[in-house]
Structure 1
Amino acid sequence: MNAGYRHAEARRFLNDRLDWNLLRTFLVIGQEGSISRAAARLHLSQPAVSQALKRLEEQLESALVIRSGPRIALSKAGEEVMQIAAELYGTVSRLGPALDAPEETVAGKIRILMISRIESRFYDDFLANFHVDYPRVEFEFDVLRSSDVVSALLQKTASFGLSLCRTPQPRLEQRVLLKQRYAFFCGKRHALFGRKHLKLADLKSENFVSFTSDQIGGNLSPLTIFRDQQGFTGRIVASSSSLDEIRRLVAAGYGIGCLPEHIVTKDVQAGEVWRLPPAEGVIDVDVYLLWNRDQKRTHAEAVFLERFEQALLATDVRNRF
């Protein structure tokens, strides 16, 4: 029996016997970037998750992760398996709607609290598809500050939240919806507009337009810490909890501001704002889907959550803008 035949037989055996649960566990590991966080999300012990990863690596005969302390990164093979697992999960997740009884009716109201200016084609498409599948579900959307979203969910006055959540809350479940990179920008009326070859030191005396949560203990406190560590001396001349208002004031020339890169891409292209150093951006801030694990959910809310989690698992976070 030649080596090529044995290899083909081994691959056929793998295709027939590979455990889907191992792939799903690996998918969550890759999304969370941590064994402990994956275990918490899957409601499993860390040893169980580590063992599942080991079994999958043994079956595939490939190292799928690169360990670096508590965090892990995917190897090249791991990235390929991650993509395949996400595609498989997306296919499997469509079995539920396909098998739903035609007479089943999902109806009710879902209240979602969200921070301002969430831009995501992935999220837009999810809402559109959900409405097609469940047209009798009614939605109520309210835009609030991140702290108010979290507070309302803790008090069980809303179904779900889309918000920043720098400090995990023991009673709230959270799933990453978007990973946003914040960077410094100025408007066309600002003295730094259009200037090339600027350095971070050129910004240190400039005044700021900032979010109200840009303070120690707030959801954007990493920005406060960044300015302090870099020795910025400018003062905050205007602040708001609304991203749109921060963007407006930056464009009007009140001062420089830190905004999500993907939000102002069109403004940069239109010559309304100018990207400032550092080139790698300032901070990374996640937007989460949040809900209270102790809250009793209606059938409509349960279906919404199930579909949303399936969509998140099936779509790499880099493809959610």
Structure 2
Amino acid sequence: MLTSHERLLRNLDWNLLYTFLTIVDESSITGAARKLSLSQPSVSNALKRLECHLGVKLITRRKGVFTLTSQGLKVYEYASSTRRVLADMAAQFSEDEHAIHGEIDIQIASHIHCPAFDQTLADFHQLYPNVLFTINTQPSAEIVRAVKDGEIHIGICNKKTSQTGLSFDLLGYEQMGFYCSRRHALYGHTDLSIEDLSGLSYVSFESDQPGEGLSAIAQLRSQQPFWGKLVAVSSNEEEIRRFILAGVGFGALTVEGARPYVEQGALWQLPPYQQLPVADIYLVTPENVPLSDVESRFVAMLRQANSRVVEQIHFAH
């Protein structure tokens, strides 16, 4: 059996509360009727029904007097709070029915700096503000595997494979330089050669391996067998930078990612200074699995942005 409290919650009509709020806001039955496009008797009847439901007098009305009772003031405060909550809900669910909604899940290698990708994120959000992005960092090999296994549909990585069922779009390149911090013995030296790195401890990305995303660094290491002891490994650029800044060892970072720290004096570039290792940047998507509408739009926009970047770099006059 319902309690009186439960019966009130079940039977109370929001339209009555809304009408009451309008009466108070307009300070008259006549004004509320005009605002609500209703007849005055309809508005008066709504007020009477609300008072009947609540069992209290809400408004004192007589010639020249229109005031809220103490109970009416309480109801007005509660109803006003409810109106704000419902207004927020209405705004959420009454948007343009043609607005694009959805989620885009992206995995990206943490060290990647790709202007076309950054620009696409900005442009896409401007066009489709209701789409939710989720971006996580993974090693390039793990990104390729995740796309192949259908766990995600969009990856940005340095690794390209010959596996069927995957599409790879070249998005650009990133140069990798070698850096140390103020805690390192070579910091501040300007007359260094690559031989000065001989035997020194270094930190490395997980994908700094032959055939992996940063194989260019592994190739340089094989050509210049001066490297010392490997002392730290991570798949995350932020953690590699943390190791370097802590003086654990020197290591490779993207030139773009390291530039602010070099300008601040926190990092110092080491040789080689010419012919730096270069890593390719790829967009990897499934060939045989249909993308969602928002994913398709994003991928198409990214490809267009990349084409514009390539044109500006190679064909601008």
Question: Could you tell me which of 108, 111, 124 is aligned with 1:114?
Answer: 108
Distance 1:219 1:117, change over 3 A: closer
* Separation in 1, partners of 2:312, 2:243: 29
TM-score normalised according to structure 1 size: 0.63
Counterpart secondary structure, 1:301: helix
Counterpart of 2:142 in structure 1 is 148
Matched, 1:257 2:251: yes
Question: 1:110: how far off?
Answer: 1.6
- Counterpart AA for 1:172: L
Question: Could you tell me which of 170, 179, 197 is aligned with 1:176?
Answer: 170
Counterpart of 1:302 in structure 2 is 296
Question: Could you tell me which of 294, 300, 306 is aligned with 1:312?
Answer: 306
Counterpart secondary structure, 2:195: helix
Question: 1:103: how far off?
Answer: 7.1
Distance 1:117 1:284, change over 3 A: closer
* Separation in 2, partners of 1:234, 1:318: 41
For each residue in 1:124-165, what CA deviation from the matched residue of structure 2 results, as whole angstroms up to 9, or x when unmatched? 332122112122322222222211111110011112011111
* Separation in 2, partners of 1:171, 1:244: 32
Counterpart of 1:288 in structure 2 is 282
Counterpart mapping for 1:194-233 below 5 A: 194-233=188-227
* Separation in 2, partners of 1:117, 1:318: 24
Distance 1:317 1:251, change over 3 A: farther
For each residue in 1:222-273, what CA deviation from the matched residue of structure 2 results, as whole angstroms up to 9, or x when unmatched? 3223112212140101111111111111111111101111111011111111
* Separation in 1, partners of 2:250, 2:190: 16
Matched, 1:185 2:175: no
Q: Which has the larger radius of gyration?
A: 2
Unaligned runs of 5+ residues in structure 2 are 1-95
| Contact 2:116/2:171, CA 8 A, preserved across alignment | no
* Separation in 1, partners of 2:309, 2:159: 21
Counterpart secondary structure, 2:123: helix
Counterpart mapping for 1:1-321 below 5 A: 104-316=98-310
Distance 1:213 1:118, change over 3 A: closer
Unaligned runs of 5+ residues in structure 1 are 1-101
Question: 1:184: how far off?
Answer: 1.2
Q: Percent identity?
A: 33
- Counterpart AA for 1:107: H
Question: 1:117: how far off?
Answer: 4.2
